[in-house]
Structure 1
Amino acid sequence: MNSIAVVGLQWGDEGKGKITDYLAKNADVIVRAQGGPNAGHTVIADGAQLTFHLIPSGILYPQTQCLIGGGVVLDPKGLILEIEALEKRGVLLEKRLRISPFSHLILPYHRLIECAREKGEGKIGTTGKGIGPCYEDSVSRLGIRIGEWVASEIFEKRLQRTLVEKNRWLEVYGEKPLDFKTIYEEYSAYALRLKPFIFPFEEQLERWINEGMNVIFEGAQGAL
């Protein structure tokens, strides 16, 4: 098998999660390379239905390393809920689940801005989870990477600077400004919970591929 990419060539919901779950039986590594928490991949385990929005579908196979790559935009609260649901089922995540420090953090203003845009004439039917605005920030260099987020002093400075601009946009959209302290304290607590999973695995992944290990790149959304 070596390296396989599972992508959707239609409008999404093509069954990528089911295909990934099937291939994961023989995989060593599964990488969620892009997308955000709007992509729900559903698998069935012991008669129970589990939906993963950020964690790679192969997490239920104990031999797999599951990686969330730098192209992903990450909602920490949602990811923590997924982790806790798996831990309750006895799934071992330590040293198996890794999050790239290069991925970007979805923050409350991303969701508010996206929902505000959807109220206008140019609405496109987004999920309202802030994924588009987060990707916009990643391109414009306003985004906060996961590696910056878990470094409290850097996160504090970046959030303060960015929130000034985002509150101006929220005012334009008729929304109330967000409070720095509230966001900082809430997301600092999330950072402490997820910090053990954050690791720069990119060089290790390259070595695994060169060594011939079976790697699946799990795509999100569709091509159309």
Structure 2
Amino acid sequence: MFRNIFRSHVASMAAGASAAAFVGSSYFSRHNIDNDSARCEKKADDASTVVGLLQGLSESMKRVEVTLGTANLSSDFSKSQRHGIDVVLGAQWGDEGKGKLVDMLSQEYDVCARVAGGSNAGHTIVVDGVKYKFHLLPSGILNPTAVGLIGNGVVVHLPSFLKELDGLAENGIQHKGRVFISDRAHLVFDFHQDVDGTLEYRLGRHKIGTTKKGIGPAYASKISRNGLRVGDLREWDYFEQRFRALAEHHMQSYQGLEIDIEGQLEYYKSIAPRVLSMTCDTIELTNKKYKEGKKILVEGANATMLDIDFGTYPFVTSSNPSVGSVLTGLGVSPKKLRGIYGTVKSYCTRVGEGPFPTELDTDEGVGHHLANVGAEFGTTTGRPRRCGWLDLPQLKYSATINGFTSLNLTKIDVLTGLDTISLGVAYKHKGQYLATMPASLAELKDVEVEYEIMPGWKEDISQCREFDDLPENCKNYIHRIEEIVGVPIRWIGVGPNRLDVIDRGEEFETD
């Protein structure tokens, strides 16, 4: 890295030859790197040799790097600046509108990937009047030239996966040779889904609010090391033995659970050839595509506040839908990440149970407006979403964890027509301001949210395509979010249609 930095200054230093000669002489008088650099020092008083001097130093530094075994670090670093892996993440509790941004961005990407979760996620994309609902597949597959990857961090319910593929084919989306599943991805079985429902029922009023898609039980099998992976279908005897043991274990653990073991084995044996034709080492494939200079986009599922580690535990999902899942669920180095795009609604919503500091009553008033104008019903469950004001302490917490380079602010048009808009700007607990989002659910449920009241706007903004076209009060709302969170807002969703987005350009991203 130091060698690259030094080389980047060669031209400007050569232009000021006398000054550069002095710098070179001073440098070598302090650092006797080797005999080559010492010989260069003797000639440093001749301005015409400055460039040669610097090249000699560069070669000396190269030899030092080779000795330390780090010669390739600088080339990898510079490469990552030219291209890299971009990530779209949910910054709240999910359903923020990630799919719309992914749909817009994916037209320029070569690879689109899912890295965590399973069919509990949901993206809805409308193209030419046709509605596509994605649960397992990356929605970027709508780009006819893109490759879709399901990484090793995803848990896959193969019946749902194949049904989703068939649905795309029925709508004219050709996917042959464009969809690949990691051989390391774990499988979700029907009995995982049955167990998910059973566990939720047993919790009664303390239920988590899961989608009952078997995600938690499948990850539990993975962590317990008795799960099966997609690649296990290659060795049928091994798969059959492991499946029987896993099914028996679940029937013994959950009274009344019945599993048609023979029927299930027959089904998986019948689909194995089709599934295996799409199965590969996605770690190798992803890194190969990266080295080839291909543009890679990761579609985050769920959201940061549902993260098993960072979310409102236990009211969370069973994976890490934050930025770390890109590394563990795709098998790439953090050096290869470039843009990290946090998607946030202009207000807050949540499906399922758990604390929600800025929640409003959706039966009346502003809460009713947000729920109905925003059509707030879950893509996967169809359940009505809880709604509330935008929570900036929560958003700052999410930005801290993920290191967002820019934000995608969605559905700001839903706020149109409100006389005033409240913006949650701080938490207080027992009279004391909190520096961050607390881990304790009891404390979070008990926080007092401090609001700033901002004037609303009445103008229709759905046709706005430039930031300056927005009403002044709308722009002020956006600026205030940027000011408090400390992350620029690049994209602004102004309507329900595919192209109802303002893109302020790459200059509205941080490094």
TM category, shorter: over 0.9
* SS class of match (2:269): helix
Give the aligned residue type for 2:292: E
Of 291, 305, 323, the match for 1:210: 291
Aligned match of 2:132: 50
2:185 paired residue number: 103
For 1:214 and 1:75, the matched residues in 2 are separated by 28
**For residue 166 of structure 1, what is the aligned residue in structure 2?**
250
RCO higher in 1 or 2 (8 Å CA, sep ≥ 6)?
1
The match for 1:61 is 143
Task: State the SS of the aligned residue for 2:240.
Answer: helix
Distance 1:170 1:132 in 2: 15
Partner of 2:162: 80
Q: Deviations over 1:22-68 (max 9, x none)?
A: 11011011111111001111111221010011111111111111101
> Partner amino acid for 2:223?
V
Once residues 176 and 157 of structure 1 are traced to their aligned partners in structure 2, the CA distance between those partners, rounded to angstroms, is: 20
Q: Who is 1:176 aligned against?
A: 257
1:191 aligned onto 2:261: no
Q: Shift of residue 117 of structure 1?
A: 0.8
1:136 aligns with one of 209, 213, 220: 220
2:432 alignment counterpart: none
TM-score normalised over the length of structure 2: 0.42
State the AA in 1 paired with 2:282: F
Of 17, 24, 28, 2:106 maps to: 24
Matches of 2:289 and 2:267, distance apart in 1: 36
**Equivalent of 2:123 in 41, 48, 51:** 41
Counterpart residue type for residue 134 of structure 1: A
Task: Select the structure of larger CA radius of gyration.
Answer: 2
C-alpha separation in 1, matches of 2:177 and 2:91: 33
- Aligned partners of 1:104 and 1:134 also within 8 Å: yes
CA distance in 2, matches of 1:127, 1:190: 25
Gaps of 5+ in 2: 1-82, 306-511
Offset of residue 134 of structure 1: 0.3
Query: Which moves more between the two structures, 143-152 or 123-132?
Result: 143-152
Could you tell me which amino acid in structure 2 is paired with residue 210 of structure 1? K
What is the CA deviation profile of residues 1-32 of structure 1, one whole-angstrom value per residue up to 9, with x for unaligned ones? 63101111100001111111111011011111
Counterpart code for 1:132: G
Q: Is the 8 A contact 1:29 1:67 kept in 2?
A: yes
Aligned residue type for 1:71 = G
CA distance in 2, matches of 1:128, 1:191: 25
Q: How far apart are residue 207 of structure 1 and its match?
A: 2.2
SS of corresponding position for 1:166: helix
Q: Aligned with 2:150: secondary structure?
A: strand
In 1, are the aligned partners of 2:152 and 2:282 still within 8 Å (CA)?
no
Count of residue pairs the alignment pairs up:
221
Segments of 4+ moved more than 4 angstroms: none
State percent identity of aligned pairs: 36
Aligned counterparts of 1:188 and 1:12: Cα–Cα separation in 2:
35
Q: Of 303, 306, 316, which aligns to 1:222?
A: 303
Deviation at 1:95, TM superposition (A): 1.4
SS in 2 for 1:35: coil
Q: What RMSD in Å do the two structures reach over aligned CA positions?
A: 1.4
More deviation in 66-75 or 148-157? Answer: 148-157
